[in-house]
Amino acid sequence: MPRTFIAKGTATSKSIGPLPGGKLRGYSNMGYEHPQEYFICLDDSHNANYDVMGSKSSCCRFCGKPGTIKYYYLGLPQKVKLWCSDPTFCEKMAKCWEEREHWLHHEGPWYPLKEVWDGARLSEASWFWEPDCEWFLPTRCHFCSSVISAQDIEGSPHVGHSYTVTCSDCGSVNTSKGEKAKGDPRNMALMGRWDGWYPFHSKSSHSCGTCY
């Protein structure tokens, strides 16, 4: 089964762009269903901060005014579904596997750099598409919901496919089935780049990146 992979240290899986408020009906005709509506405040009285409200009547925590910028948010599952329903998009994605000699079993970038798979970053994650590769899937602690890594599961005592894993956060003992995944050329990876550039004139606690 194809899977979606998010590289370490990247933007979150929800880093999806906005829909212009006045074009909701047009996007609905394209297949976007029930996007979440938010309101953003970028008032001049707090130009180094912003706030996002979930309703038109909610007020900004910095200035107490309602948000003036309408923002429609699309979740990742719906976005991926729409991508994969487009034949042209699927053809473009298949090019990555067609040119696998550029990154599969190849270290470093492939010159000339023309596509995202010609860069060194994708070759580092080539196992995600390699059909011969297999790896453990992480799980969550049954008690505190912390993520238990694939490395922790693999290194734990086991009988058959039953692994006894101790949560590093709460110390609780969990039983894991040791589920595994295999590489697949149809897998889709979301790789982020965090440049740390600032959306405002002066440095603040908010910096930006991208997910591609």
DSSP calls for 123-180: HHTGGGT-TT-EEEPPEE-TTT-PEEPHHHHHTS-EETTEEEEE-TTT--EEEE---E
Confidence at residue 15, expressed as pLDDT on a 0 to 100 scale: 34
Residue 2 lies in a domain: yes
Q: Does a structural domain hold residue 57?
A: no
Answer left, alpha or beta for residue 129, where phi above 0 means left and psi between -120 and 50 means alpha: alpha
Q: Kindly give, in sequence order, each residue whose CB lies less than 8 Å from that of residue 21, ignoring residues fewer than 6 positions away.
A: 69, 70, 71, 72
Q: Domain for residue 70, yes or no?
A: no
* Per-residue pLDDT at 59: 95
Taking residues 168-191, report their average pLDDT: 89
In-domain check, residue 107: yes
Give the integer Cα–Cα distance in Å for 69 and 86: 30
Q: What is the DSSP string of 2-20?
A: --EEE-TT---TT---EEE
> Could you tell me the pTM of the whole model?
0.58
pLDDT at residue 112 above 90? yes
Range of the domain at 173: 1-13+99-192
Asked whether residue 55 is domain-assigned, the answer is no
Band of residue 79 on the pLDDT scale cut at 50, 70, 90: confident
Element (H, E) at 29: helix 24-29
**123 lies in a domain?**
yes
The pLDDT value recorded for residue 30 is 65
Query: Is residue 115, in this structure, part of any structural domain at all?
Result: yes
C-alpha neighbours within 13 Å on the C-beta side of residue 198: 10
The C-alpha atoms of residue 139 and residue 137 are separated, in whole angstroms, by 7
Residue entry with tokens 């298949």:
94
Q: Is residue 73 part of a domain?
A: no
pLDDT surpassing 70 at residue 142 = yes
Domain total of the chain: 1
| Structure-model confidence comparison of residues 211 and 104, the more confident one | 104
Give the mean pLDDT of 143-167.
93
